[in-house]
Amino acid sequence: MEATVKKRSKAIDRQNGVMTERQIKRKVGQGWALLKDPVYEKGLLVSAELLYYNADKAKVREELRKCQNGHYAFFFFGKTDPNVVYVL
């Protein structure tokens, strides 16, 4: 007798708008995103609620100023230039 087990991805809570990192990246493309209640595992983004996204960093920053108390992340989902040094 053989049993086949299919690995399923975690269910996504559609009511709260929580999306996986892959879904957010697909929707945002090459741009900046404002995320609410991000969840991280081993330093990598796993899921969050996408509040706003735009290719213009200033517009996303403006939306961030409107946010009240809570846990938010300002995230870039594009490719970075390998010839540029980023200082954090």
pLDDT per residue as tens digits for the range 23-39: 999 999 999 999 999 99
C-alpha to C-alpha distance for 43 and 52, rounded to whole angstroms: 22
Show me where the domains of the chain are located: 18-76
Helices (H), 1-88: 21-28, 57-65
Kindly report the pTM of this predicted structure.
Answer: 0.72
Confidence of residue 10 (pLDDT cuts 50, 70, 90): very low
Render pLDDT for 60-78 as a digit per residue (tens, 0 to 9). Answer: 999 999 988 899 999 999 8
Res. 4 pLDDT band, cuts 50 70 90: very low
Tally the C-alpha atoms within 13 A of residue 12's C-alpha that lie toward its C-beta.
15
Tokens 């991805």, residue located: 9
Tell me the C-alpha distance between 29 and 42, whole Å: 23
